Structure 1
Amino acid sequence: MVRNRRSEGSDSSAARKPEGSDSSAARQPEGSGVRGTYAVGDERRLCILDAAVEHFAQRGFHASSLARIAADVGITQGGLLHHFPSKEDLLVQVLQRMDASDRERFFSREFESAAQMFTALVRLAEYNSARLGRTRMFNVLAAEAGDPGHPAHAYFVERYADVVGTLSGVLRRGVDSGELRADTDVVAVAQELAAVMDGLQIQWVLDPKGFDMAGRFRAYVERVRREIGAEGS
């Protein structure tokens, strides 16, 4: 984000200015002020997104207030709206940021096998078990989004279609390669994987200290692998 600074004294015209003159005061690289503004703006946006996660997790979308989110960040509601034009836009940005982060961390490369995909899903469950606020927010918003009029309804419909499509595609390649049984219903298994992961998240959020979400999901995945694995695979 920071541009290279020019060597001190490289501007000969500046060297001829009298010391202390306004025109000679600490010349900055061209555009450095703008770049600094961008950096501050990016940091402010991230702070708003983080605060929004907590509010959406605690209150859901409809009961969350832009004014309270802004106050938590230390800015006015008008300042928040400078970065996010509406509460609906803020919600979508929160969800998209969450998905982008998870994709980069766990699904950035094409899986070479179904076993590799199963391992990544378990790692995701383990990662989520350290993110109570984010997981609570997901549960609350997913439940609210069952209403077709909810601003996140289309997002969740597309998300589940994408998740099932991605997982079933990997499972289909596993069938074709002989890794998985030929009679495997890849779409059904993909839907069940998504449903079990999200269902276990609900139970964990209700009892984060007493419920081993990652352990339960790991055990479930192992059962699925044994059931659909080709003999000797």
Structure 2
Amino acid sequence: MTDEAPRRRGAYAKGVAKRDEILTRALEVIAREGYRGASVKELAEAVGLSQAGLLHYFDSKEELFTEILRKRDEVDSAAFGPLDAEADETPDMRVAYLSLIRHNADVPGLVQLFSRLAVDAVDPQHPAHDFFVERGTLLRSTFTAALAQRQAAGTLTTSVPPETLARIFQAVADGLQIQWMLEPDVDMAGTIDALFEVLWPGGSDER
């Protein structure tokens, strides 16, 4: 009896570690092979599991792909810095966001996965629904806080509420991803930077 709890904790820790390994390797496979080329079979083989063994760690294929996107955000936040809605408005947020957009152009498979799941997630029952709602809320709150500071400082028009401007940024970013997948020559980061410059002139030294 006294050994049961430590064994359960050990099994749980191993399960968490294996799940994290699966998500990390899945990011690599999808970035390399693309969304359409990354089947559950290939993802399972990448971590030395059967398809059934892989899905043992997730409720469904849809949940697996949702958690892959969640892992991507975690990795990107570590690499490019978090977009912190509570932070003071500085050029760093603009630089971090543009760096992230440029990085997306190097991982088309993950962009494809994001865009596909974003459409499927309009169904409230889809495993990715809450992920996309929460992610969008966080992104908009970040931009709303920064844009409100610009308005308070008198460097941004107050004719449009910051919440509306934040939705415009989100819509431009999401829409550009679709345009870029159809037309790979589209400069996503350059286009978003142009929007920044219209609303946020001089907000970054990066050009």
**Structures share fold, TM-score greater than 0.5:** yes
Query: Equivalents in 2 of 1:70, 1:84: separation in Å?
Result: 12
Query: Equivalents in 2 of 1:146, 1:159: separation in Å?
Result: 14
What is the match of residue 135 of structure 2?
159
Q: 2:23–2:67: 8 Å Cα contact kept in structure 1? A: no
Q: In terms of Rg, which structure is larger?
A: 1
RMSD, matched Cα: 3.3
Task: Report the TM-score when normalising by structure 1.
Answer: 0.65
> By how many angstroms is 1:192 displaced?
0.4
Residue deviations 1:195-215, cap 9 Å, x none?
10111111112222x222222
Higher relative contact order (CA 8 A, sep 6+): 2
Q: Residues 211, 49 of structure 1: CA spacing in aligned structure 2 closer, same or farther, 3 A cutoff?
A: closer
Residue deviations 1:128-164, cap 9 Å, x none?
1222111111111112222333221222122112211
What is the match of residue 71 of structure 2?
97
Q: 1:56–1:141: 8 Å Cα contact kept in structure 2? A: no
What SS is found at the alignment partner of 1:156?
helix
What SS is found at the alignment partner of 1:147?
coil
> By how many angstroms is 1:54 displaced?
7.3
Query: Equivalents in 1 of 2:107, 2:27: separation in Å?
Result: 15
Number of matched pairs: 187
> Mean alpha-carbon deviation: is it higher for 84-93 or for 199-208?
84-93
Indicate yes or no: 2:194 matched with 1:216. Answer: no
> By how many angstroms is 1:186 displaced?
0.4
What is the match of residue 36 of structure 2?
58
> By how many angstroms is 1:50 displaced?
4.0
Residue deviations 1:84-121, cap 9 Å, x none?
34324323321211122233323266543254433332
What is the match of residue 197 of structure 1?
173
Q: Residues 45, 122 of structure 1: CA spacing in aligned structure 2 closer, same or farther, 3 A cutoff?
A: closer
Unaligned 5+ runs, structure 1: 1-33
In the alignment, residue 54 of structure 2 is paired with which amino acid? Answer: L
Match 1:122 to one of 90, 98, 104: 98
Identity of paired residues, percent?
A: 34
Query: What does 1:27-38 align with in structure 2 at a 5 Å threshold?
Result: none
